[in-house]
């Protein structure tokens, strides 16, 4: 796969805004955050400003343990969107966090034939070196800016 042309769009950069900034800041420090409802107790992921079970707005950030089990996966052999084409094959997965919610992610550090439903996983983080702001630089609210790492999972030791 050839290098990405200058100015070509990237499809792996998360969109950040004032609401999701705590999530991406925590990821940059190597911590996974989830949201938990103070009314019904449900933990959920992806981050939302309300509870998907009871619709309460009494939800807050919580640091997740980083433990998960594999729920399902697919080995991706072809992806034409930059920069994914240079990463194939890769493993797209849904994991069930120890706190309850499921999240989409990528599995790293293992081969497809090693995977099994229920296998124990631990969170890790992929640095977004290219197009990420420099350490200490003020992050703006433009899409894709301000995030410097994304959560991925690997087999538990």
Instruction: List, edge to edge, every strand of the sheet that includes 43-44.
Output: 43-44, 33-37, 59-63
Query: Residue 131 pLDDT more than 70?
Result: no
Query: Most distant CA pair in the chain: distance in Å?
Result: 51
Higher pLDDT, residue 1 or 29: 29
Query: Residue 130 pLDDT more than 50?
Result: no
C-alpha dihedral sign at 105, 111, 117, 118: negative
Buried b (16+ CB within 10 A) or exposed e, 58-71: ebeeeebebbbbbe
Query: Residue 138 pLDDT more than 50?
Result: no
Residue 144: per-residue pLDDT: 43
Backbone angles phi, psi at 87, to 5 degrees: -100, -10
Indicate the range of 28-42, 95-109, 126-140 predicted with least confidence. 126-140
pLDDT in tens, 67-86: 999 999 999 999 888 788 88
């Amino acid at each position: 796969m050839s290098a990405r042309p200058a100015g070509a769009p990237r499809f792996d950069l998360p969109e950040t805004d004032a609401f999701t900034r705590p999530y991406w800041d925590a990821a940059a420090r190597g911590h996974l955050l989830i949201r938990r409802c103070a009314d019904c107790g449900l933990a959920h992921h992806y981050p939302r400003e309300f509870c998907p079970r009871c619709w309460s707005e009494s939800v807050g950030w919580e640091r997740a343990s980083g433990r998960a089990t594999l729920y399902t996966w697919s080995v991706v052999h072809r992806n034409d969107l930059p920069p994914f084409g240079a990463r194939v094959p890769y493993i797209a997965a849904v994991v069930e966090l120890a706190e309850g919610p499921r999240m989409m992610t990528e599995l790293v550090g293992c081969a497809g034939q090693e995977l099994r439903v229920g296998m124990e996983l631990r969170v890790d983080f992929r640095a977004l070196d290219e197009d990420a702001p420099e350490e200490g630089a003020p992050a703006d609210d433009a899409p894709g800016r301000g995030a410097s790492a994304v959560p991925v999972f690997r087999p538990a030791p």
